[in-house]
Chain A
């Protein structure tokens, strides 16, 4: 009888209980959301927003459309096999006359010039020479006379390909690709194909710096994790010291040290080791040295935290089980630092990928990394489309790397055997 009572009681309270649970959970979720909301809004405006904007600019293509609206409309149903018909020429003429009046020719000229060198001249000369609208039916002839380029198919495909509103032009350019006259994607001409080698260079420099940081940082992190607290705190201050001075100051210090009349060369010369000053700066060596110095703490700290979590009992256990010190290190200690090695390497590598100031100051022309060109296109030539496309490719590569890393560490998650 009591059984029946109990089950009956359960059945009648079950539904409200579930609902109450859900309600309780909801309030907790709302509270949690309220706590992170300010940060979320901040990130949205300062991080997600700009990145989305940048990604958008990499495919945004509306300049030509704005300046030459009738031409763009007339070319919409052009098959591209032959020169466009009279209607398109008339539209172009009318657009040019209108654009000249409103002074917007340069906007379209700049964009078209990215795709076809010399387009700026074509457009401005045409605008200058086209005093009035040509007679109806004579637009093709008139424009052809003003500039022979209007009698070439490539000129027109360039306008059509740039008619937006979105384009793959910049992204293709960032990968050393272009569309040819027939719209097929082909390799860019050798004199313009610089970005792939630039990406390769960026990756090689970043990899070298990561490897250097790992080689130099591992022993230091080990020392930090095993020294008694007093001395390890002191050492930690030295590790963190670079964070207290500005990046610029540190980089300039390397110039002072490494230049041909610098401290290092002078000392070596004084010691009689060298006769001629060594070339230590404004080359790959200088870039790697300065970047390794700047990024070393980002390797040491994750390594240190993973090593700190390894109980000394493990090494003792290994020794008592008969493992000589090096074997114990290789088979017991090193595997447990792998998450730290991964995190540190990823951090350093990704930071290095985006490095700008240091290579710009201590590197030669052949050591400039991708961000140098991004900065160049943003500030000097105002080619935001290409700058954004380079940024987008870099971002994509970084995200891929992070995902691969995530997969790798997920596969060998360690929970630790120490229960207490």
Chain B
């Protein structure tokens, strides 16, 4: 994808000023502009009801945009029926045809395209090999486990080499372990086949694992579109900072702004220096965002005067195997999390008064929540 960043590949799909309302009263999708490049794995991520499925359905042709136009390979497709769009789709509940066998299910898109018999057989065979289910070819979907059905749905959506594959929470019904395994399998398929994938999920870790780019949806608006690491490191607003990864919030008021940085007076007293990301200027209220792993705990007494150094009180410690969490009370936020090395939590006693410190570049001043 790095190459794609240098010489932008032509957009395979372009949403241009898309709006959608079901009831004529409020917009489920508000002014969506989104380019999907050829060969990329893009994820639509957002809370429930934020309009992800609606966006996907408009692309697949099952919903009509109320306003705006969608372009596929440069051609407007608003009036193109779904079966002519050449878009493979994997549904949340798989939608495997219950009266057909696995092999017949996978052969379906080929047979409606009047592919000749030998060709169909060969491609179904290789699709079955790809999902490692040759032996189950003659079973019915009802006789498969959820994970197996998922694989068949995937094979069926890929077997006709569509120019675009859409997946709407395809792993939502699977348990955690199987989900993680399937995430890797889907990612691998994407890489080996070079297909373009639009993936919908409301699970942020799934999005971070799989995507080239993520579009964060909230309330019918795309908040930010970026690579996973950029979303995590440089969220443009509080919603994105909260939605992607763990996050500590401190409320405050901007005192002074100096180029990229600003001084913020915390509501509970004390001041910190933060990167000015999304603030209107001096005097504005703001929410500071600090990631748990960017914070250091300084046991009381060993004083070193840093720029961002706040008194804290240990509430609790949680051991999580590969790491540990300390829950502190910092400036009125009683759930301030700090990530520790495993074992480091032993030295913290409940109720102890300590200090927390973090670098100004790890503290983001964002819009107030």
Contacts and interface: CB of A to CB of B under 8 A. Distances in A.
A323 B93 contact: no
28 contacts: A311-B95, A313-B91, A316-B91, A318-B97, A319-B62, A319-B83, A320-B88, A320-B89, A320-B157, A321-B108, A321-B112, A321-B160, A322-B113, A322-B160, A323-B108, A324-B112, A336-B98, A414-B99, A414-B142, A415-B98, A415-B143, A416-B141, A416-B142, A417-B94, A417-B98, A418-B98, A419-B146, A419-B149
B173 interface: yes
A148 to B, nearest CB: 73
Given A317-B89, A322-B109, A327-B112, A417 B82 contact: no
B108 A320 contact: no
Interface string A392-414: 00000000000000000000101
Contact of B95 (A316, A325, A327, A335): A316
B89 A420 contact: no
A222 interface: no
B156 interface: yes
Nearest to A320: B89
Given A414-B140, A419-B146, A420-B93, A321 B98 contact: no
Taking each of A311, A320, A415, A418, which has the highest tally of chain B beta carbons within 10 Å of its own beta carbon? A320
B142 A417 contact: yes
Given A320-B60, A320-B82, A320-B83, A419 B173 contact: yes
Contacts of B60: 316, 320
A332 B97 CA distance: 7
Given A313-B93, A317-B91, A416 B86 contact: no
Interface in A236-260: none
For the complex of A and B, list the 3 residue pairs with the smallest distance between their C-beta atoms, beginning with the closest.
Answer: A415-B142, A417-B141, A417-B96
Contacts of A420: 93, 173
A314 interface: yes
A314 B81 contact: no
Taking each of B60, B88, B91, B156, which has the highest tally of chain A beta carbons within 10 Å of its own beta carbon? B91
Interface string B41-65: 0000000000000000000111000
B110 to A, nearest CB: 9
Contacts, number: 101
Nearest to B140: A415
B87 interface: yes
B154 to A, nearest CB: 13
A311 B109 CA distance: 19
B99 A336 contact: yes
A332 B109 CA distance: 12
Contacts of B86: 322
B302 to A, nearest CB: 54
B151 to A, nearest CB: 13
Contacts of A311: 93, 95
Contacts of B82: 316, 319-320
A327 to B, nearest CB: 6
A418 B83 contact: no
Contacts of A328: 83
Given A414-B98, A417-B97, A322 B112 contact: yes
Taking each of B87, B95, B113, which has the highest tally of chain A beta carbons within 10 Å of its own beta carbon? B95
Contacts of A332: 97
A326 to B, nearest CB: 10
Interface in A40-68: none
Interface string B142-177: 110010010000001100100000100000010000
A147 B157 CA distance: 91
Nearest to A309: B98
Nearest to B88: A320
A336 B140 CA distance: 13
A108 B46 CA distance: 91
A2 B105 CA distance: 52
Contact of A418 (B88, B89, B93, B112): B93
Taking each of B82, B140, B146, which has the highest tally of chain A beta carbons within 10 Å of its own beta carbon? B82
